[in-house]
Amino acid sequence: MQYLFFIFLGISSIIFANIIFNPFVSQSISTNLLLYSVGKLAGLIGFLFLSVLIISGDTARFFDKFIGIDKIIKFQRKFALITAIFVIAHPLFFMLSSGNYLNYLIPNFIVLPLALGIISLYVFIIIMICSVLYKKISYQIWQYIHILTYILFFFSLYHALNVGSDTENIFVKRIFDILLIGIITGGIYRAYYKIKHKKFKYFVKEIKWETSDVFTLKLKPSSKLHFKPGQFCFLRINKNKLYARHPFTISSSPNEDTLDFTIKITGKFTKIASQLKEGEEVIIDGPFGIFTIKDGKKDLVFIAGGVGITPFISMIKNQLHFKKQQKITLLYGAKTEKDLIFKKELDKIKENWLKKKFILSKEEKHPEDWEKGYITRELIEKNADNLKNSIFYICGPELMKNGVVKTLKDMGIKEHNIIIESFFW
């Protein structure tokens, strides 16, 4: 799926470059013409990237099941910066080529296509500033800003079709057709999704403290949310100017009555979430994510660090409920015994299929079945019996996650048998 996306972007960009620079291959080109041509190419690629950015945002919830919406959003943040470079380079190179700056900065409505191009540039800059400040912008205003993206697309399209001298080319026309279809489909999908999910409501039932800085937020849903163990939701709280949504993995299993999120206090949102009172509303968007069990036959090795235990507790409780027998080895790292979340729940499970090991880095006392230190190659080899026929799931702090992935690769574990969840947001 991702490859198709990059192939489309690559081929489209090559077509644009070929159309613009092909006429100059056999002749010399003046500096001004070169600057002008680069400006044209930046405009076409900027429009392509901008459209893809809007389409990928609108369809992110659909493509979640293939890629994971968190990965799409993280990719979009970087891709928006690349898009900004092309969009800004478009008028900049024209200014440099002509030496005339005001023509490209002040809209003159007598030449409507050019004026709409300049307005598009300003709309784009407004949207970019708002996305940087998204934590400070109310969700409702954020929704209105989203409508601006469609205005931006249609203004830019009108500008490109009426000013761009290369848009008569059949390949360019087809690429524009694909983008237009993508924008319309994406917009319809987004509206459909929003309407469909408006009816779900979630209210705080209880806040349960797990450790000194980790709590479980138990929500009572108005109707049952269907999810797979390991998936996450975006949470929003409509108070204290907490506008941005934050992702949290569901720590309850699908058969439980409450929808639980086990949260470590790291900043403003998590702190205020810990102070929620019974009956208050939490707005939920989800479930999302592909950190779920796909292979029912292979053994599973869960490697968790700190609050990274949340997807695994949901998976283990689900397996317990359905009386499945898939072998699970849980290697759970934390600083001290007090930092172990769900220790009591895990200790209660006496099934043969679950083997667990606590690895504590800063604890002095170490009962027999615990280990001191960190998750190393020796520790994995000692505890996981069937390395070649296992799937490894990893969720924990970035440093631990990266270290474990490297260790597993060094051990010869195939990449497709290593499944990673990143809590970095």
Going 190 to 192 to 194 to 196, the CA torsion angle's sign is negative
Choose the binding region for ligand FAD from 148-156, 176-184, 216-224, 264-272 (rule: CB under 6 A). Answer: 264-272
Strands 390-395 and 354-360: unpaired
Selected binder of ligand FAD within 243, 269, 342, 358 (CB under 6 A): 269
Choose the binding region for ligand FAD from 157-165, 257-265, 327-335, 341-349 (rule: CB under 6 A). Answer: 257-265
Contact call for residue 260 and ligand FAD (CB under 6 A): no
Selected binder of ligand FAD within 228, 246, 356, 401 (CB under 6 A): 246
- State the Cα–Cα distance between residues 143 and 364, nearest whole angstrom: 52
Contact call for residue 309 and ligand FAD (CB under 6 A): no
Work out the number of other CB atoms within 10 angstroms of the CB of residue 16: 23
Choose the binding region for ligand FAD from 82-90, 121-129, 256-264, 331-339 (rule: CB under 6 A). Answer: 256-264
DSSP 339: G
Contact call for residue 212 and ligand FAD (CB under 6 A): no
User: Can you state the angle between helices 31-67 and 139-163, rounded to 10 degrees?
Assistant: 140
- State the Cα–Cα distance between residues 252 and 232, nearest whole angstrom: 11
Name beta bridge partners: 50.
none
Selected binder of ligand FAD within 266, 275, 336, 386 (CB under 6 A): 266
Q: Minimum CB separation from ligand FAD for residue 136, in Å?
A: 12
SS3 at position 303? strand
**Per CB under 6 A, which of residues 55..114 are in contact with ligand FAD?**
70
Look-up of token digits 């592909």? 290
Q: Minimum CB separation from ligand FAD for residue 276, in Å?
A: 13
Give yes or no for a contact between 163 and 114, defined as CB atoms under 8 angstroms apart.
yes
- State the Cα–Cα distance between residues 100 and 79, nearest whole angstrom: 30
Residue 149 or 262 having the CB closest to ligand FAD: 262
> Which residue of this chain has its Cβ atom nearest to ligand FAD in the complex?
267
> Which residues would be at the binding site for ligand FAD (CB under 6 A)?
70, 232, 246-249, 262-264, 266-270, 289, 307, 310, 423-425
